Homo-oligomer: A and B are copies of this chain.
């Protein structure tokens, strides 16, 4: 079983524990914080389903030590539901555990991987950070930066290169160009940045990622160990979430497939069109559906509400019951969910607009 962090293949999660050594959420010390974690729909609903060493982060939190949650974005477009999911987890960590947030706008990766000019990335970066703020990020306990402006990250990448063999890079990432390998080193720099003396030294850092990003995590954990003596790095922890499917249900949601990705900037017309085309678990005929209920495990609309748009479990439960009990048909159901999502999006877009100036200043100050 291979995992390709740049691919969009769906993965059999059960193998991740046995073959890749991820830990379950009820082990490794994480269980101690279950009550707090379950305040987040992501943990409560098993969307975040595995981790590496997250118990150490929880332990440091218990002991009042400084903790960091970090992530980043390749600024090639607007926030979509995948970027939102990671952001939601970061913001939860900030609110509920007092974690400081580090967020890297990986403009150099956008150049390496997509050839996107840094100036273009900078425009998107402002929008992305405004999304973060609108989702609830507290700018006072956060450090947001562009990779191309962060010499500490680029310097770390250079240092890490000396203890990274081509064979390792090929084994994890396949035959790639030097720009992609350099992106990998930069990303390790982003993850380990919060532990530099400039940022208060070694500490527990958790990185929320999709399960398919585990190769990056394992690579960075190896690097942290190799540079333990020099920097005192703690091995970074990670939480893993299931990834959200594309709206047609066929692959992981990706920016590369515009009509099958939902972005936080979609307007009502676009949203309507996308929901109309999204995959459901509808049966062949209305009659059959009323009799057997919908196949909800296939339904992307249900996933939308489960992952993102119903905070309240009772609303979700009702949707589930109505569907599987055959009480509602897909057309009517879609209409209801469209309304809920549309309301959420409008409110979000309002908040986002108000945060553009703040986002600009956060990116300039860094």
Residues in B with CB closer than 8 Å to A111 are 158-159, 162
Bound form: Cα–Cα A350–B177 in Å: 50
Residues in B with CB closer than 8 Å to A161 are 112, 177-179, 182
Q: Is A186 an interface residue (CB 8 A)?
A: yes
B179→A158 contact, CB < 8 A: yes
Bound form: Cα–Cα A185–B181 in Å: 13
A158→B164 contact, CB < 8 A: no
Among B151, B158, B162, B179, contact of A162 (Cβ-Cβ < 8 Å): B179
* Minimum distance in angstroms from A39 CB to a CB of chain B: 40
* Minimum distance in angstroms from A9 CB to a CB of chain B: 25
Q: Is A139 an interface residue (CB 8 A)?
A: no
CB interface residues, A 249-276, toward B, < 8 Å: none
Q: Is A165 an interface residue (CB 8 A)?
A: yes
Q: Is A150 an interface residue (CB 8 A)?
A: yes
Count of A interface residues, CB-CB < 8 Å: 28
Majority secondary structure, A binding face:
helix
Residues in B with CB closer than 8 Å to A230 are 117
B181→A112 contact, CB < 8 A: no
A164→B178 contact, CB < 8 A: yes
Q: Is A295 an interface residue (CB 8 A)?
A: no
Bound form: Cα–Cα A162–B112 in Å: 5
Q: Which residue of B lies closest to A117 (CB)?
A: B230
* Minimum distance in angstroms from A360 CB to a CB of chain B: 20
* Minimum distance in angstroms from A351 CB to a CB of chain B: 33
Q: Is A11 an interface residue (CB 8 A)?
A: no
CB interface residues, A 206-257, toward B, < 8 Å: 230
Residues in B with CB closer than 8 Å to A159 are 108, 111
Among B117, B151, B162, B164, contact of A150 (Cβ-Cβ < 8 Å): B151
Residues in B with CB closer than 8 Å to A181 are 178
Q: What is the 8 Å Cβ interface bit string for chain A, positions 322-355, against chain B (1 contact, 0 not)?
A: 0000000000000000000000000000000000
Q: Which residue of B lies closest to A230 (CB)?
A: B117
9 A-B residue contacts at CB 8 Å? A111-B162, A117-B230, A150-B151, A151-B151, A154-B155, A154-B157, A162-B177, A166-B178, A178-B181
Apart from A158-B182, A162-B177, A178-B178, list 7 A-B contacts with CB within 8 A.
A108-B159, A111-B162, A112-B162, A149-B151, A149-B155, A161-B178, A162-B179
